[in-house]
Structure 1
């Protein structure tokens, strides 16, 4: 007899899409400019965002890895966008990161507390 594991949580599609965007940005930075730091940072932060999205899929209250990753990227890339004025890639990642922080923050504040 199969044991009931309870209701399955839906995948956090926005989170996984965000993680893919960050990792892809690092890969493109390496491919276009040969920037190893862009590749390393993109894969590192993309991996952390993917881990955070997976954790959100398992437990919607487990937001801390995803929130810290997107918040850090929002700050770093926001400063780069402010200093350079170039939308690509800093403005895009800063904007996406701010949207992720807002989405997770709103869902955290609106969820019932145990």
Structure 2
């Protein structure tokens, strides 16, 4: 199995978003949350690269981040940054679930 490039890109985007939140608004919570979530997502992407069935950390972190940012987006109605991270999180969660369901399907194709 190759590298989970999409997972690493998602982790880097989350970490970069935290850094940008700090740079633009001086938000220490954004910096902390972005770096913590980005780091955990990076570890999850590494685990997926090693073993595609080891997706629990990535899925848990993605759904947590998606839930938090979805709540912020619902309350603020501002797409940046909460709406964007929510959309990315939903996309990543769908990717993880579809890939896992396809790998564990009792129907073998080809």
TM more than 0.5: yes
> Paired residues, what number?
106
Query: How high is the TM-score relative to the length of structure 1?
Result: 0.90
Deviations 1:62-113 (A, max 9, x none): 0001001110011000000000000000000000000000000001111037
Please give the alpha-carbon distance, in whole angstroms, between the structure 1 residues aligned to 2:84 and 2:104.
32
Q: CA RMSD in A?
A: 1.2
User: Does residue 69 of structure 2 align to residue 77 of structure 1?
Assistant: yes
Deviations 1:1-25 (A, max 9, x none): xxxxxxxx20000000000000000
Please give the alpha-carbon distance, in whole angstroms, between the structure 1 residues aligned to 2:43 and 2:60.
12
Query: How high is the TM-score relative to the length of structure 2?
Result: 0.94
Please give the alpha-carbon distance, in whole angstroms, between the structure 1 residues aligned to 2:98 and 2:42.
20
Aligned to 1:53: 45
Extract unaligned runs of 5+ from structure 1. Answer: 1-8
Name the SS for the 1:11 alignment partner. Answer: coil
User: Does residue 17 of structure 2 align to residue 29 of structure 1?
Assistant: no
Please give the alpha-carbon distance, in whole angstroms, between the structure 2 residues aligned to 1:26 and 1:106.
28
Extract unaligned runs of 5+ from structure 2. Answer: 106-110
Q: Which has the larger radius of gyration?
A: 1
